[in-house]
Chain A
């Protein structure tokens, strides 16, 4: 790394705002994916003007620049595969404005997702998107990835809750898009930016919608003897027009790990459970809970439990939201996938996922947003065994191909990042990718901002490139 650049960075942000010694950088070499990449320096802006200075320095020294929230992303979006500056937003975590009368909040990108809800929940409001990592992940990261979560089934994902952004463009220009109100005239740049994986601009302020907390919540646990019964229940709930606030599935493999870690009371001998939540007015919730129970029973649920207290409910959700962490009990590494399929294709897709895993010699755990058709097959492996990792990648590629064949997508909420760029041609033609490249050309023509992400790196767009092994795979 250029010594003069480090000096200039320190001049801009102070000594404590810059990490550059190799041992300091190691922490920023990974995120929650299986990828690895070492930045040349990690910088911690405190203000939008700091970000502008950083972008200008990156331009002056012609080095890449990559934004990063809490590093909980699952597709390598916040890694610096070509080195350069990693801009970490942990010091830009102020809630700038809470405007309850207008159901809006303005936040800096480093605000932790759950902290926003914590700031308004005693007054009866909350921020709806709730990624499983919401205790750690930042709203800036949520915007970059268009993050989802269990409750997005009823309330929508991040993009449905973001109305305006302040951006620093790769040129260093500051631009505001959207605003506090709906229907801003002109092209919907806010909608374009959300989910652009930090490849178009660096977001320095976010205007979000706040929602009123529901009056009543009921949490049900449907317990099934077969996986098919559980998936058919989900398809049937959808077909009958019953929309729970959340509808999550955990299979036996995951239940064991989750129960050992959280003691939430999940059954260990069931093939699968559905964690279903209904919300709204008291009267509506009663009826919906009965409907959900009826559908579960129609598909041979062994038992349908209802959480009797808030503590019991929180335990069930803690089990679900900490599930990925619990997997650490079973193997040194896991690789989690993120395919989406039409809900009507859920039973056959889950059977295929399990079969593909078995054929490659893996048992696959499934814990996912069933109501959205958003699968998260989880393959446990040992990254020290490089041959095994290659088989993991082959198996998960096959699963994603199957999802696409079912009319689905290769990612529902984790993003493309470094992980799935070579799979993009499964979904998109050269013309489709070219249209995206033109958008990138408008915002990020030098490609210096978050390089080597989202777009296929291989020359031949039509074919899947064999993905190289990370230097040291594992999480």
Chain B
């Protein structure tokens, strides 16, 4: 929709909710140089359906958003005429603490969910970057990753069911609100990580988890990547079951607003939860493993709140250095992008044994293109992140836009990382990068032979391509 005034009039006539067209409202959801002509905020599924039906009738593209925290992820939109903000669909619909299940509208902030669950000694392990801003719908749309995934899995493991509005404006329910259910196809799996291209999620049923009685964290410094990964291997193949197993290099540690991290070239960050006797055991065994793998330092953190994000009321009086550590690690992407808006972040999913080879290769590639780089990995899950930063001496280091030369180098480096991912048995995507970089690199990497099935699914659920068109894998 080329923002024609009469088109906006038809939108106003077709929907009950308010239609904002002021520059500030629209600018909030600008993505890759595309600014929607209007922002609508439906209050319920009925109003959302009206919007989708209008978009179908007028061949308009919708940009579904909760907070917009993850909006930069994906291809530049093929059309983003109207941003659909779910900010007003933010209610808790039901919470049964005794059953450890709850149901929320998709526009609710994850911080609000976390606070509510925390009051009942429970939590949701999907605590990803942009914790203070992120909405449940956005987190699910991008399948945002949490350091806790090593112990608790990802969204697909704790979503029990949901409702969503398809590109034809139909409200569909899938799953249920019980912890076990196999009635019908599991469409939640299809929706999670689909970037809103099959449907706009309106409600989600979750499984909650009991907060552990206590937690301890351990920071282990290493002079070499090989030694750090050797310790990771020993942990993964031991009877120890830590909740978090992360790896950061010195450059990544320097992005964090902390001085608790060791100045080592590589730091392995481990968290364990349980009763005191269990945590003592972790301390003893991890210290021994650190010695055996020639760690340069071993620092335990005790007396901390068991949750990753700070929960102010609960943290009071309980030494928070450990929690601050995990909150910082969780927010690494956010911190990096704050300090370097033009940062390019590559995410590679790898077999555990290939994490080292990929990180080594990535560092070589970055050096070859003269780009400062930082590395971070969900080391226990085989997920590596490389941050390519604009050169510090460049005139535009802190700007969101990227000088032509730097963008080209970033795109070439990212392309090589996509190839490297494939060579090491994994898949690389470029979730975060400046618009200029997207001109030369496909953020999702090449499609595979299952792509025709994805195209057909898209055609069934969103035949007129009104939902986030063009932004997902292969331009879906």
Contacts and interface: CB of A to CB of B under 8 A. Distances in A.
A340 B472 CA distance: 36
Contacts of A439: 185, 187, 190, 457, 460
A152 B177 CA distance: 17
Nearest to A440: B185
A190 B156 CA distance: 11
B453 A189 contact: yes
B99 interface: yes
A438 B98 contact: no
Given A195-B182, A434-B170, 8 more contacts: A99-B351, A104-B351, A188-B156, A281-B278, A413-B180, A416-B183, A432-B172, A438-B461
B274 A342 contact: no
Interface in A161-206: 175-177, 179-192, 194-196, 200
A412 B180 CA distance: 5
A212 B426 CA distance: 23
Contacts of B98: 235, 238-239, 343-344
Interface string B347-359: 1011111000000
Contacts of B178: 340-342, 373, 407-409, 412
Interface centre among A187, A283, A341, A434 (most CB of B within 10 A): A187
B28 interface: no
B448 to A, nearest CB: 7
A175 B99 contact: no
Contact of B351 (A180, A243, A287): A180
Shortest 6 CB-CB distances between A and B: which pairs?
Answer: A241-B210, A191-B189, A215-B239, A438-B460, A342-B99, A412-B180
B463 to A, nearest CB: 10
A436 B184 contact: yes
Contacts, number: 254
Contacts of B243: none
Interface in B173-211: 173-174, 176-190, 192-194, 198, 209-211
Interface stretch (A6-14, A322-330, A423-431): A423-431
Contact of B180 (A188, A284, A373): A373
B236 interface: yes
Contact of B174 (A159, A414, A435, A438): A435
Contacts of B186: 146, 159, 191-192, 194-196
Given A187-B454, A411-B182, A435-B170, A180 B281 contact: no
A187 to B, nearest CB: 5
Contacts of B179: 340, 343, 372-373
B124 to A, nearest CB: 14
Contacts of A156: 153, 157
A63 interface: no
Contacts of B143: 183
Interface residues of A, number: 92
B237 interface: yes
A281 B281 contact: yes
A435 B189 contact: no
Interface string B102-125: 000000000000000000011000
A184 B99 contact: no
Interface of A: 99-104, 124, 145-146, 148, 152, 156-157, 159-160, 175-177, 179-192, 194-196, 200, 212-215, 235, 238-243, 280-284, 286-287, 340-345, 369, 372-374, 407-416, 420, 424, 427-429, 431-436, 438-443, 454
B183 A287 contact: no
Contacts of B101: 342
Nearest to A282: B281
Contact of B189 (A159, A342, A428): A159
B190 A191 contact: yes
Interface string B320-358: 000000000000000000000000000101111100000
Interface string B464-476: 0000000011100
Contacts of B369: none
Contact of A182 (B185, B349, B445, B454): B349
Nearest to A373: B178
Nearest to A441: B460
A183 B183 contact: no
Given A374-B180, A416-B183, A443-B453, A283 B278 contact: yes
A128 to B, nearest CB: 12
A341 B351 CA distance: 38
Contacts of A176: 448-450
A408 B182 contact: no
